[in-house]
Structure 1
Amino acid sequence: MLGAIGLDDAQEAAYRALVGLGAAEVVDLSHRLGRPDEETVGILRRLERHGLVAQSSAGSGRWVAAPPNVALGALLTQQRHGLEQAEMAAALLAQEYRAEAAEPSVHDLVEVVTGASAVTHRFAQLQLGAEKEVCALVTGSPMVVSGMENTAEERAVERGVRFRVVIEREVISGPNGIVEITAALSRDEEVRVVDRVPTKLVVADRSLAMVPLGRNSAGPAALVVHGSGLLDSLMSLFESVWREALPIRLDPDGAPEEESPDGPDAVDLRILSLLLAGLTDASAAKQLDLGLRTVQRRVKRLMELADVTTRLQLGWHAYERGWVARTPD
C-alpha cells in the first residue's frame, strides 16, 4: 500500500509493526517480523533515511516510529512534487515532439517493429497512450497477444477510452472467444462481427495505427503508422468494415449474441410461426431450444420493427409484410 511513496513490503511491514508498538527493541521487532536481527537493522536504517523511524535515546538497540501523519505527509509531498516535475517534463517533450512532427520525414511515418517482446510492448503502448478512442479489427489467430492477455485494453477502458472492435466470426468459436467477448461487452466496449476481416489492425485516436507484417527470422513483426495518407486509408478501411458488421450485445442471460439486421432473421421467423400457430412463449422457447427471455426479447424487438403495441397487431403486420405466409383456408 505504501509502495507509491518508495517503501517495499519489508519496510512497510516493519514500519506498521513499529507504529503498533510505538517503540521496540531490535530483538522484539525481528521476532515479530520473522527476520534475522541484522536484516531488521538494515530495514530500520532505510526507514530512518525516509524519516519514518529514529533510534530511541533510551538505548542504541531501541527504535521508535515517527508520527505517520507527519512522516508520511512529508513523503507524499515529495512524491507529488516529483510527479509535478515529471508532468512538466512530459508536457515539454510532447511540445517538442509535436514541433518536430509538424513536417516529419517520409521515413519517420512508418516504424518496423520486430520480435514478440517489442511487438507486445508497442501494442500495449498504443492502447495506453490513447486518449479518446481505439478501433480494432481482430482475427481468430492473434499474433502475440490474446484477448485474455490484453490488460492494457482494460486499463484504457477504465480511463474512459472508447473501444470499437470488429471481430471475425472465427473468434467466437475460439477457445476463449465467448469469455473474451463477454468481458469486452461488460466493459461497455462496442463489438461487431463479420465473416472475415481483411487484416488485423489497431488505430489509436486516428493518429497512430499498427498492422502486422507476419513472421520472419526475428519473430513476429508489425508496422506502426503515424499520421499520413496511409493512416487515413487504414482508418477508412476500418470504418467500411465497421459499417458492414453486425453488432454483438449481451442477451438477458448475460451471453453475447449478434443483433439482427433491419428485418427479422431466421430465428425471429420461426418464433413468429410458432406463436401464430398458437404456442406460448415457453413452448416456442422449448421447441427452438432457446431461453424464455430470449424469445420474449425477440418478440419485443419485432413489435418495435413493426411499430405495433400488441401481439395481435404484430401477427397482422407479419402477414402484411410477408414475414410469414398465410395458412390456406
Structure 2
Amino acid sequence: MVLAAIGLDERQEAAYRALVALGAADVADLAHRLGLPEADTERVLRRLESRGLAAGSSARAGRWVAAPPEVALGALLTRQRDELERAEEAATRLAEEYRAEAAETAVPDLVEVVTGAAAVERRRDQLLLGAREEVCALVARGPLAVPARGVACRVVVEREVLSRPGGAAALAAALGGEVRLRVADRVPARLLVADRAVGMVPLTGPGAEPVALVARASGLLETLTALFEAVWRDALPLRLGQGGEAAEDAPAGPDTTDLEVLSLLLAGLTDASVAKQLDLGLRTVQRRVKGLMELAGVTTRLQLGWYAHERGWVTRV
C-alpha cells in the first residue's frame, strides 16, 4: 500500500485510485469494482471525504468525485511532514531530559534486569537502533545483530561460529563492509556495548529462560567495556569477502580470495575448513597458500603470517 504512509488503509487506497481513474462514480459501480458491499463502500467514501480526498457530487445524488491528487495528497503529505517534525522535536527534548536525568540517576537505577526472550530481543534492538557513534559486541553463538549503516561497529566472534557450515558467508552477509571483525578462540561472554553509555550481557545460559542485565554509566559498564577491549586487543583480524566477488589488486599482490584464505588460516581454521567456508576445492586453497608463500619469498606458514602483517595484507586495525 503506497498511501499507507498518509493513513489510508487498503480499501481506502483502492477506492481513491478507482475514483481517480474514473473521475467520478456511483456507489453501486464503485462497490462492484472494489468487490465490497455498498454499505462498506459508502463508509470508505465518507472516510475519504473526511480526509479531503473525495466529495459527493452536487449535480447527482449518490455520485462521488475524486479530489485532484496533487492538491489533496499534497496537503496530507505536508500535514504528515509537520507532524513528523513535531514528533522529532519532542523526541529530541525527551532525549535531553533523559540524559540530564541519567547523570543524576540513583545507583539502583543504573542496572536493569530484562526477563524473557521477547523482552531481551526488544531491548537489544533498542540499544542497536539508539546507537549513534559505535557498537561493540562479543558474539559466541546465535544470530548476529548489528546496527544500521553509518554507525561504527567492532565485533569479536568465537572461532566456533566460523566452523559452522556457511559460517563465514553468513557473517559476511550480516556484517557488510563497515564492521571491523576479529576472531578469538573463546569469548568470555556475549556482550553488547553501545556508545560506551549502555551495555547488555546475558545472565542465563542456553536452555534457560533468557535474562539479561543492562548497565548504564557506572563502574559495571566500565568493566564491561574494558572486557571487550581486552578481548578485542588479543583477537585476530578476519577478512571476509562481500558477495563472493573478487576485486582486482595490483598484479604483484594477492587478490581478494587470497586474502580471505590467509585471514581464515590466521584465524585458526584448517585448509579443509577454509575450503568449505569459501566454497573452494581443498587443492585450490593449498595452491593459493603455496602461491602466497612464493610471492612472499618464505618457506613456512608462520613466516607467511609475519610477512602478511608486515606488508599490511592482514592488519590489526
How high is the TM-score relative to the length of structure 2?
0.78
* Alignment correspondent of 1:273: none
**TM-aligned CA deviation for residue 295 of structure 1:** 1.5
Aligned to 2:57: 56
Name which of 272, 288, 291 aligns with 1:295: 288
**Unpaired stretches in structure 1, ≥5 consecutive residues:** 268-284, 304-310, 324-329
Q: Which residue of structure 1 aligns with residue 123 of structure 2? A: 122
CA-CA distance at 1:6 after TM superposition: 0.9
Equivalent pairs counted in the alignment come to 280
Equivalent position of 1:201 in the other structure: 191
Residue 85 of structure 1: how far off its partner (Å): 1.5
Find the aligned partners of 1:132 and 1:34 in 2 and give their Cα distance.
51
- Following superposition of structure 1 onto structure 2, how do residues 75-224 of structure 1 map, counting pairs within 5 Å? 75-140=76-141, 142=142, 146-147=143-144, 150=145, 153=146, 156-158=147-149, 160-174=150-164, 177-214=167-204, 219-224=209-214
Shift of the 67–258 alpha-carbon distance from structure 1 to 2, 3 Å rule, reads farther
What is the CA deviation profile of residues 172-196 of structure 1, one whole-angstrom value per residue up to 9, with x for unaligned ones?
Answer: 2346634421213435322221111
Map of 1:259 onto structure 2:
263
Q: Report SS of the residue matched to 1:164.
A: strand
Q: How many angstroms does 1:234 deviate by?
A: 0.9
Q: Output the amino acid matched with 1:195.
A: D
Greater alpha carbon shift after TM alignment, 200-209 vs 20-29: 20-29
- Whether the 8 Å contact between 1:164 and 1:189 is mirrored in structure 2 is yes
Cα deviation, 1:216-252, whole Å, max 9, x if unaligned, reads: 9992110001011211111111111112222222348
> How many Å apart are 1:126 and its aligned residue?
0.6
- The verdict on how the C-alpha distance between 1:57 and 1:187 changes in structure 2, with shifts beyond 3 A counting, is farther
Q: Report the 3-state secondary structure (helix = DSSP H, G, I; strand = E; otherwise coil) of the residue aligned with 2:136.
A: strand
Structure 2: unaligned runs, 5 residues or longer: 246-256, 272-279, 305-317
Query: 1:20 offset after TM fit, Å?
Result: 1.2
Q: For the Cα contact (< 8 Å) 1:246–1:261, is it kept in 2?
A: no
Q: Which moved more, 1:47-56 or 1:11-20?
A: 11-20
CA distance in structure 2 between the partners assigned to 1:105 and 1:28 by the alignment? 66
Separation in 2, partners of 1:40, 1:176:
52
Question: In structure 2, the residue corresponding to 1:290 is in which secondary structure?
Answer: helix
CA distance in 2, matches of 1:83, 1:210: 31
1-structure distance, mates of 2:50, 2:186: 60
Contact 1:247–1:258 under 8 Å retained in 2: no
State the structure with more CA Rg. Answer: 1
Q: TM-score normalised to the size of structure 1?
A: 0.75
- Kindly indicate whether the alpha-carbon contact (under 8 Å) linking 1:246 and 1:258 is maintained by their aligned counterparts in 2: no
- Whole-Å separation in 2 of the counterparts to 1:139 and 1:47: 53
Q: Given the superposition, is the C-alpha separation of residues 290 and 111 from structure 1 closer, same or farther in structure 2, using an over 3 Å criterion?
A: same
Distance, in Å, in 2 between the alignment partners of 1:100 and 1:34 is 55
- Equivalent residues of 2:238, 2:264 under 8 A apart: no
Q: Measured at CA, do residues 115 and 196 of structure 1 come closer, stay the same or move farther in structure 2, by a change above 3 Å?
A: same
